[in-house]
Structure 1
Amino acid sequence: MSKELKTGIIALLIIALGVWGYNFMKRQDLFSPNSRHFYVEYDNINGLNEASVVTINGLQVGKVDAINFNPKLDKRGSLLVRLSLEDDFQFSKASIAKIYSAGLMGGQNLAIIPNYEGEMAVSGDYLKGEIESDLFSSVGEKLNPIQAKLENVLVEADSLLIGLNQVLDKKARESLNRSVIGIENTVSSLNNTMVSFNDILESNKEKISVTFDNTKKITDDFSKVSGDLAKSDLGATVKKLESTLSNVNNLIKGIESGKGTVGKLMSDEQLYTNLTNATKEMEELLREMKLNPKRFVHFSLFGKKPKPYNEDKNNENVSNE
């Protein structure tokens, strides 16, 4: 064998090994001619690259072969991902190819979520693409609305401060400062008042204690009186009082209607007049007996007669002798 032939064979082997090594580094198996190829369209591949792993239910079944821009004019700017599957696992065209994060430092992989309804997918078909939000993307998606709201709040706060500065001129700011100083003085005075009040309480602690003791004693006595009242039969007493008042009312009604002696005395005018006249005559009789006793008790050996009754002298309380 000539040196030229040996050199040619060695060169071919080196080229073959180079091609195999290059494809091995890209995780492409040259000895699997029966692998299937599928295409997925994405607006953003989120860091997916060639030779990324393709899995079904967590099992590695293939890899990403190529990522290129979509040549179709109506989908300009979108990305077309070509993936190859070395497994003959069957799924329908309705299956989803989802890009997911393999970990914090593991990059992006592609998972096929199989669907078994409808027509089965064959090599060269297009699958529907989706992107699963990773931790940082989820945080970013949640923080973006908050950031927008925070920016709006800052803008409104800035506008408010500008308007406040425009409203509060120098005199207004000085007045506001004086008001704040007045509030501070008021708080200081209140603190001094509280200190004085505490001193008063401290100096009169014994008197206050005695006052509370007396109050407690009064309260206890009142409780005792209340207990005695509760134990006493107030209902029966009230009933007796009502009965007595009823009898008194009946008695007063009888007197007013002229029943009984008292009633007749109060209602019969003739009887009242007779009693008045009798009383008057009795008074005159007693006065006459006092002024002229000889007219009623007379002892005379010579038969001298007493002087007759004189009404005028009797009224003047003068003797008739």
Structure 2
Amino acid sequence: MKISREVKTAVLVIAGITFCIYLFTFLKGEDLFDSSNTYYTEFDYNALKTSSPVTIKGNKVGEVEEIKYDFESGKTRISFSVTPKLKFSKNSIVRLYQEGLMGGNALSIVQANDGELAQPGDFIKSEVKPGMISSLEKNFSGISEDLGTTLRSSDTLITNLNKLVVDESEDGLQQTIAELNATLKTFKGVGVKAGNVLSENDEKIASVLENFDKTSAELAILIKDLNDAKLSNTVKNLDDMVLKLNQLVSGLAAGEGSMGKLLNDNSLYDNLDAASKELQLLLLDIKLHPARYRRILSKREIPYEEPTQEQLNNN
């Protein structure tokens, strides 16, 4: 059978058109021969376009097929298709989000955890995730007000700084810089001298540090020995002794016991004071009249005479 030239030309044209369509869909990342399931959702406004991607956990699984405005509800109705391999719950949420700072918008399927699977043609609930640009637009007024306050504060600070720096004299600022330079030179000289002192006494400093290390080691050994000697028990015993001593002093202050009565009995003090005075008078009488006491065995009695005030003062 002989095929005419017209048929061959028609076949070639149809094949070319088919190849161009396949190539176009392939470059868009679609598979012409792959079937897909279509679902529906709606938003208060339209921020999508046909062929906007549909993702799940950041992976593209479909695209937006059709966008229509519903005149009855006043909302934008979206139909999107996903690969039939994707199984998700009917209670999942379709989220409108911004792909990037300069990118467009896309849909993301946020899966629910129940077991009821969505069927092709089902309506899925939607939500909108605010993007960076929209957040900045909402907060731009507040940011501008804060920025204006900051600029006014900076202007006040610079004005006060100018008042502080400006001098009435002709060379005020230059003199200040010169004095500051002289101060820095002085500090530099002090630093150089300190460096020389350190370099000259390097061995002494090293010896001091070595001795300090030895002292620290010996102190650690001493502390260990004190711990081994049960210093805590000694301190506890000392604390008990101080407590008992406090109780003893409290008892003495309260007049308990013989010593307490001795310390708190005024009559005993008066008796001791009187006895001391009589003993003083006896000693004075022995000093003034020793002959009276040398003749104790004699029958002759020498009468006692009260000492005069002058004798008391002299003795």
Which TM-score applies when normalising by structure 2? 0.41
Give 1 or 2 for the bigger CA radius of gyration.
1
TM-score by length of 1: 0.40
